[in-house]
Amino acid sequence: MLAGLVYSAVDAELLKELGEVKDIIHRYNGLRPSAVEERLSILKGLLGEIGDDEIIINQPFYCDYGKQIRVGKRFFANFNFTVLDEAPVTVGDDCFIGPNVSIYTACHSTDPHERNSRREWARPVTIGNNVWIGGSVTILPGVHIGSNTTIGAGSVVVSDIPASSVAVGNPARVIRKIED
């Protein structure tokens, strides 16, 4: 799965791990928002890497494995952040994620017979430093978003977005470059 090769989404070992992570996520989402230290402790055990203790992920938060997610310093994600991390998801320092944002790494065939075999593959997502992802954005598998970029609310990011850009729409396209 992590090598980007085709794998079975109904593999017993993967399903067991997904179930264990769902229990952790359920516990995290059930905590009082004021339980900052306990929330941070769960995130430190769940995520693959955290840049510092200034991470904030508002509840509810959802992910598949957690351990493939790496976030940098001063990371903030608002309500309903969803990450399907079948491949690595790497987010740089000083990134802000709006509400209802989804990051997907899992890929499925468009052929219904092949799709029904439950075979899939995954492609990593990378987000640079100083990126703002507006509310209700969807980021698809294999996308790289460069540093110092803003993705406008409601956008669907289907391909790479260069650094120092403002991108909006479905599919997201660069509408303006940001001066450094």
pLDDT of 179: 83
Taking residue 20's Cβ as centre, other Cβ atoms within 10 Å add up to: 12
- Residue 108 designated active-site: yes
Query: What does the domain layout of the chain look like in residue ranges?
Result: 7-177
End-to-end CA distance of the chain, in Å? 38
Provide the token pair at 168: 């909006």
pLDDT of residue 180: 67
**What is the reported pTM?**
0.95
Is there a contact between 68 and 103 (Cβ–Cβ < 8 Å)? no
Can you give the pLDDT at residue 2?
Answer: 86
Distance CA 127, CA 24 (A): 25
Spatial distance between the Cα atoms of 118 and 171, rounded to a whole number of angstroms: 27
pLDDT of residue 53: 86
In the prediction, which pLDDT does 23 show?
Answer: 98
Cis omega (within 30 of 0) for bond into 33: no
pLDDT in tens, the chain (180 residues): 888 899 999 999 999 999 999 999 999 999 999 999 999 999 999 999 999 989 999 999 999 999 999 999 999 999 999 999 999 999 999 999 999 999 999 999 899 998 899 999 999 999 999 999 999 999 999 999 999 999 999 999 999 999 999 999 999 999 999 986
Which residues, 6 or more positions from 94, have their beta carbon under 8 angstroms from its beta carbon?
72, 73, 74, 75, 129, 130
Taking the C-alpha atoms of residue 62 and residue 71, their distance in angstroms, rounded to an integer, is: 15
Q: Which of 26, 108, 113, 144 is catalytic?
A: 108
**Domain 7-177 adopts which CATH fold?**
UDP N-Acetylglucosamine Acyltransferase; domain 1 (2.160.10)
CA–CA distance, 170 with 162 (Å, rounded to integer): 17
The phi-psi region of residue 39 (left if phi > 0; otherwise alpha if psi is between -120 and 50; otherwise beta) is alpha
- Token pair, residue 118, equals 């439950």
